Structure 1
Amino acid sequence: MITDLHATSSVSSDLIGKIEAFRKPATEILDPELRRKLGQFFTPQSVAEFMAKLFKCNKTHVRILDAGAGTGILSAAIIQKLLSRKKLPENISVTAFEIDTQLHAYLYDTYRLCGELCSKKGVAFSVDVQDDFITYAANISRNDLFAKNKADFNLAIVNPPYAKINSDSETRKILRSAGIETSNLYTGFLALLVKLLDQNGELVAITPRSFCNGPYFKPFRSYFLDTMSIQRIHVFESRSEAFKDDSVLQENIISYAIKTKRRPTYVTLSVCDGTFNSKIKKRICSYEDMVSTKDPELVIHLTTDEIQAEFRRSIEEYTDSLSDLGLSVSTGRVVDFRARAFLRKDPEKNTVPLIYACHFNEGIITWPKTGGRKPNAIARDENTQKLLVPEGIYVLTKRFSSKEEKRRIIACIYDPSLVKADYIGFENHLNYFHINGQGLSIDLARGLAAYLNSTLVDAYFRQFNGHTQVNASDLRRLMYPSREALEELGDLIGNNFPEQTVLDKLIETGLR
């Protein structure tokens, strides 16, 4: 099914248009460094209206919670939607939080306009603007004696701040006190919103999709999936279009969920590129297809079309884990800023090769790379020996891919016949595959690198990994062809990696 992201309701969007006009001057008064620290990104009009349309609310008394209000465009979009219906609510109340008090003047202007529109429709309207959502919500969540009386909300909408939380920060301590363990503000906000929602209350949130996988977000996934029933997830394919005015590079999703332990049989997944008038493609899949009850990690797969579904089915035909293959994957041991005293621009006596991502070159490591910014060597002595690995054939992957790269996983072979050294150092932004700390056979290495570089693996990986990081834990989650099949593939490939279409054909025919 294909629809339009920017189709508007029958009610005039003058309200949201006026509030959208606040966004640019509001942005200009804010300190860019403070915005970065707070993780502030303002929601564009088209996204706000799309989010509001997802609510099914038909309540007589509507209580809206907007936890990162900005200029108030999200809660205003809900009000606009509610007032477009034939059956109007009797009253609407909004509780809005914005920690940056410079924006409160815009918030009051927004809610003045909302109140005027409600008055014309004969709907009672009230608003309460506050600043610190986390402290407020945490106090209520832990039943603090000094907290205000608990206000249950039946609608919650949020574009939360995107920022990491240090383990020893005051914010982290407050979240822990409310029983929430998370490393990012946006998942902290979502967890608190869930606690403040009525049973069967509705939540719509636009967030990075990084919570869909990875060990750091598992406690949040476990809590959220146990408490909320996800009904729909919308994916923005572009990392930048939805928030292009704010240079947001995370891949964003919009989630719609209801507070109930009843799981839906089916979930709607949709996708668009986020540009103006972009078309939305929808796919209905089973809830089990999105989150398998057999998966202890509770990874959320966003398989948005039948082509991706076929890629997933193909991957799931493979049944071997890395441990089944006798392989391990580890993160490079050399953290360059900690080992700065031992790094050398070029090879010299008593040094060994130091491999960075810049040494990747069409499937093999080319070393040294002279004239670049990165060191090529690290001193070998008693201080650095524990950072090194013995000579051998290793498969390396980049832990971070740039947005310009066509694949998320970039694999390369370190071949000691091309780089002569008894030991080598792998920098911390690389992962390396090994057998009990030793190298692989050349055919196994070639086959493994080819598999990791395939379009098949890339398409599958993107279904649950929405950021540029490729962690060792992600690579351990993958299923692999048998060791014999990988070695046969490696033998077929030989010394030179083929171009992508040829490689994909070899994967299709050689691993089935």
Structure 2
Amino acid sequence: MHEVRQELIAAPQPNRPRLQSSPSTELFDQNGGGEIPVAQTKAPPSSLPHSLIRSAIRLIEARGHLSSEARLDLCRRLLANDPSALAETGWGPEFTTLPLDERHYRISALYMRMMPTRRRQQLAAFFTPPHLCDHVFERLERYGYDVSQHRLLDPASGGAAFLVPAARRLLDQLKRQGLSGEAVVERARELLAGVEIEPGLARLSEMLLADVFDAELRAADQDSLRVVNRANGLKISGSEQFGAVISNPPYGRVFRASRATIARWQSVITDGHVNTYALFIAAALEQARAGGLVAVIVPTSFMSGPYFAGLREYILATSEVLEINIVEKRSEVFLDVVQDTCVLIMRKRGVGAIVDWQPPTTMVVTAGKSRPLGCADLPVSGRRAWGLPTASDEAELPLFDDRLSDLWEWGYQARSGYFVWNRSRARLTERSTPLAGEVPLIWANNIQPNARIELQTRKGGTTASKGQISCVTLPAGSSALIRGPAIVLQRTTNRSQKRRIVAGLVDAEAANRFGGFVTENHTIVVLPRMDTSQLVPIQTVLQLLNSSVLDAQYRRLSGTVSVSTKVLQRMGLPPAKLLLRHLDAGKDEDTALRLAYREALS
């Protein structure tokens, strides 16, 4: 029996800077751009095989629905390179020439897509491509993970996306040690563990692992490794068992969570908002030993979203954040998913004081080179948002500092748009003049940066809607009615757009023409506060929100496609007096902001 080294406390760490310095971090870049690469992952195929998987699904569905057993049988035959299975999927003999991890990914993703749609949505089953898995292992190895020494757990193993590359690495090392097939199997069972709630996926995981250890299992006269437990990854007994925990957990909000769930995971639940991946992060940290490593692929929304404040606090209290590696592409990384994601790498805290590291950040794309990007802005502890570096040319400024102001102090409040049209269609109409009890509605796509927002329909100024405006029936005395000028922002933008903040102005004339207006839920409204005076004129606030400087600042705080009302409200701004002095001296908005920030922070 080999001794399994459980702890990573003494594992070698790269030299990493403290908070006050400016460490280089990494940005994966397809072209390299002449930068010296500081990390490298195996380059994937020129494009992920998602189109081939979709075409295979069309061929299979044309012959009718497959049961779970039939799906597993097809996968088993594909693993065996059975000609009939290759014909059924349309993949042909070239499939047999693919590297093992790419064949396994295609098979597991095919199985997932063959599942009934509702079941697939319930499980949030979307698997991790090989190049991203390899990236995770290479980063973990940088922090001391050794597959032949440290026990590994994937608590949501799905199609064994992480277990298979771990198995390949382990097998290579054990072969070099000259172990017999039976000894290799025994050692693999000591070091690898997976948990999967869906019975078919648990069996598929075992099939894929058996394909890796095929010769060793035959030598040991066994048919499977038996390391994937069919269970709920959030209900694993015991804790602090593993040197490394890796997972791409299911994403999604849990509605009507049970009292037991809320009580069990209350440390990562904020304002009653329960998200599955937050629970899995907490479970992963529980299962890791002191000094152990945890790597999860999760949406970037947790870094700034108000409903993840408890999760951020829990992560900082229980671990040292080593890296936050941003996955650059939003689409076609995961099959049939458009999602901003990151690889979050942590080391579970052991005995000792909190270490105030500034974690490096990596932008991952579909090729393997990297270049420096910058430092993330994390607090030592607490619930505040985490700031990310960006590729912007703007100098990075502190996001949170007691010397800075914010929109609230300037005399403004931000609130979400009111009207959810697809839930209240009967209240929505189009006409040239609102009737009694109706008010105009502003749509997100009516907004252009730094422009006056006209009252119109959702389609804008098209011939069919010319002279018409969208109107909503509004209850008398509704607090949603806006009676004065206001800045309205698009609430849904993404980091690939030229602007993350897109803000226009409903001026006093438009606001008062029909006694007020409302906006739809895909907008944010910035309103003058009624309890104080405004230190900065509303037209100036509009221009500042549309500036390059504030757009860059917001990008560092926004980890999701939705512009966060709370983040916008709390984003650090220069004191009004300093800013207005530079504007009054004739400086443009960007220059005035840079000078005012610098002066406030000096």
Unaligned runs of 5+ in 1: 141-148, 494-501
Q: Is the alpha carbon distance of 1:405 and 1:369 closer, same or farther for their aligned partners in structure 2, counting shifts above 3 Å?
A: farther
Instruction: Indicate the residue corresponding to 1:455 in structure 2.
Output: 548
2:358 corresponds to 1:311: no
The CA distance in 1 between the partners of 2:525 and 2:251, in whole Å, is 30
1:464 is matched by which residue type in structure 2?
L
Q: 1:445 aligns with which of 534, 538, 546?
A: 538
Larger fraction in strand: 1
1:408 is matched by which residue type in structure 2?
R
2:345 corresponds to 1:253: no
Q: Is the alpha carbon distance of 1:180 and 1:133 closer, same or farther for their aligned partners in structure 2, counting shifts above 3 Å?
A: farther
Instruction: Indicate the residue corresponding to 1:79 in structure 2.
Output: 167
Instruction: State the identity as a percent.
Output: 21
Q: 1:96 touches 1:127 (CA, 8 Å); kept in 2?
A: no
2:209 corresponds to 1:115: no
The CA distance in 2 between the partners of 1:441 and 1:192, in whole Å, is 47
Q: 2:297 touches 2:342 (CA, 8 Å); kept in 1?
A: yes
Which residues of 2 match residues 140-159 of structure 1 at below 5 A?
Answer: 140=237, 152-159=241-248
2:505 aligns to what SS in structure 1?
Answer: strand
Q: 1:232 touches 1:256 (CA, 8 Å); kept in 2?
A: yes
Instruction: Indicate the residue corresponding to 2:110 in structure 1.
Output: 25
2:386 aligns to what SS in structure 1?
Answer: coil
The CA distance in 1 between the partners of 2:198 and 2:331, in whole Å, is 24
Q: Is the alpha carbon distance of 1:304 and 1:342 closer, same or farther for their aligned partners in structure 2, counting shifts above 3 Å?
A: closer
Structure 1 residue 43 displacement after superposition: 0.8
**Cα deviation digits, residues 277-319 of structure 1 (max 9, x gap):** 242224574xxx63123x74332222266956x2325996971
Q: 2:206 touches 2:225 (CA, 8 Å); kept in 1?
A: no
Instruction: Indicate the residue corresponding to 2:53 in structure 1.
Output: none
Q: Is the alpha carbon distance of 1:321 and 1:41 closer, same or farther for their aligned partners in structure 2, counting shifts above 3 Å?
A: same
Q: 2:257 aligns with which of 154, 169, 185?
A: 169
Give the aligned CA root-mean-square deviation in angstroms: 3.8
The CA distance in 2 between the partners of 1:298 and 1:121, in whole Å, is 55
**Cα deviation digits, residues 89-143 of structure 1 (max 9, x gap):** 9823322122222223321112213434777999x99543233324523xx3xxx
2:151 aligns to what SS in structure 1?
Answer: strand
Structure 1 residue 510 displacement after superposition: 8.3
Give the TM-score, by structure 1 length.
0.80
The CA distance in 2 between the partners of 1:297 and 1:67, in whole Å, is 26
Q: Is the alpha carbon distance of 1:73 and 1:359 closer, same or farther for their aligned partners in structure 2, counting shifts above 3 Å?
A: closer
Q: 2:325 touches 2:364 (CA, 8 Å); kept in 1?
A: no
Higher relative contact order (CA closer than 8 Å, sequence separation 6+): 2
**Cα deviation digits, residues 4-62 of structure 1 (max 9, x gap):** 33269xxxx95424423423432342223332232111111111111122222247653
Q: 1:328 touches 1:434 (CA, 8 Å); kept in 2?
A: yes
1:412 is matched by which residue type in structure 2?
G
Q: Give the length in aligned residue pairs.
A: 478
2:507 corresponds to 1:415: yes
Q: Is the alpha carbon distance of 1:378 and 1:332 closer, same or farther for their aligned partners in structure 2, counting shifts above 3 Å?
A: same
Q: Is the alpha carbon distance of 1:484 and 1:247 closer, same or farther for their aligned partners in structure 2, counting shifts above 3 Å?
A: farther
1:109 is matched by which residue type in structure 2?
M
Q: Is the alpha carbon distance of 1:380 and 1:486 closer, same or farther for their aligned partners in structure 2, counting shifts above 3 Å?
A: farther
Q: Is the alpha carbon distance of 1:402 and 1:375 closer, same or farther for their aligned partners in structure 2, counting shifts above 3 Å?
A: farther
2:299 corresponds to 1:299: no
Structure 1 residue 223 displacement after superposition: 1.1
Instruction: Indicate the residue corresponding to 2:470 in structure 1.
Output: 376
Structure 1 residue 474 displacement after superposition: 0.9
2:318 corresponds to 1:232: no
Q: Is the alpha carbon distance of 1:326 and 1:504 closer, same or farther for their aligned partners in structure 2, counting shifts above 3 Å?
A: closer
1:155 is matched by which residue type in structure 2?
A
Which is worse superposed, 432-441 or 28-37? 432-441
2:150 aligns to what SS in structure 1?
Answer: strand
2:343 is matched by which residue type in structure 1?
I
Structure 1 residue 212 displacement after superposition: 0.7
Q: 1:333 aligns with which of 401, 418, 433?
A: 418
The CA distance in 2 between the partners of 1:402 and 1:207, in whole Å, is 17
Q: 1:431 touches 1:472 (CA, 8 Å); kept in 2?
A: yes
1:354 is matched by which residue type in structure 2?
L
Structure 1 residue 242 displacement after superposition: 2.7
Instruction: Indicate the residue corresponding to 2:441 in structure 1.
Output: 354
Q: 1:5 aligns with which of 20, 41, 47?
A: 41
Q: 1:396 touches 1:414 (CA, 8 Å); kept in 2?
A: yes
Q: 2:188 aligns with which of 89, 92, 101?
A: 92
Structure 1 residue 427 displacement after superposition: 2.5
Q: 1:175 touches 1:181 (CA, 8 Å); kept in 2?
A: no
Instruction: Indicate the residue corresponding to 2:285 in structure 1.
Output: 194
